[in-house]
Amino acid sequence: MANESEEKHKTQEDLSRRQFFVRVGLGSLAVAGAGTAVFAYQFLSPNVLYEPSPVVNAGKPASYPPESVTLDPATGIFVVRETQGFYALGATCTHLGCLTAWKPELGIIACPCHGSKFRTDGTKIEGPAPKPLPWLRMWLSDEGDLMVDRSQLVAVRQFVRI
C-alpha cells in the first residue's frame, strides 16, 4: 500500500516536471516567434525617406517690400523683389553647402563659412564658390501666392511679373 502511494506521488511529480518543461518550451517558441515577426515586419516594410516637398509657398507678393531680398532659412530660399518682378534664389552656398545670408549694409549675399560673396542675382563676386546661386522656378498660384519649386532651376532673369 505504501509502495503504491509512493509510486503515485512519483508519477504526479514526473507529470508536473513534464508540464514545467512543456511550458518553458512553449514560452521559448512564443518569444522566438515574436522576434521573428518583428524582424519580418521591419524587413518587409518599405525603407522610404519622407522628405519635405520641394514646393514652397512663399506667401503674398505684397508681403515683400520693393527692392528687397528676403531669406527664409527654413526653406533655404531668397525671395528677391526688384522693379522687374520677383525671383527666387537658392540660398545654399555652391561651395560646401552653408546657408548664405543677406547683408543689407553691403547690398550683397555672403557666405559665413569661407567668405564667398554673391550679387542679388546670384552671380559670384568673390570667394571659393564654384557656381552662382541658382534661380529657382517661381510662379503665382491661383490663390495669388508666390510658389517656389526648389527642385527646378530656371534661366537667370526669369522674373515673375505681377
For residue 70, how many C-alpha atoms fall within 13 Å in the half-sphere facing its CB? 19
Number of Cβ within 10 Å of residue 71's Cβ equals: 17
Grid cell 542679388 is found at 120
Burial of 29-63, coded b for 16+ CB within 10 Å and e otherwise, reads: eeeeeeeeeeeeeeeeeeeeeeeeeeebebeebee
User: Judged by CB, which is closer to ligand FES: 26, or 96?
Assistant: 96
Write each residue from 75 to 114 as x if it is in contact with ligand FES (CB under 6 A), else as -, in one continuous string: ------------------x-xx-x------------x-xx
CB of 135 to ligand FES, least distance (A): 18
CB of 94 to ligand FES, least distance (A): 8
Number of residues near ligand FES (by CB under 6 A): 12
Residue 128 lies near ligand FES (rule: CB under 6 A):
yes
Site residues (CB under 6 A) for ligand FES, limited to 7-66: none
Residue 127 lies near ligand FES (rule: CB under 6 A):
yes
CA angle 147–148–153, rounded 5-degree value: 145
Number of Cβ within 10 Å of residue 162's Cβ equals: 11
User: Judged by CB, which is closer to ligand FES: 75, or 94?
Assistant: 94
Binding footprint of ligand FES on the chain (CB under 6 A): 93, 95-96, 98, 111, 113-116, 127-129
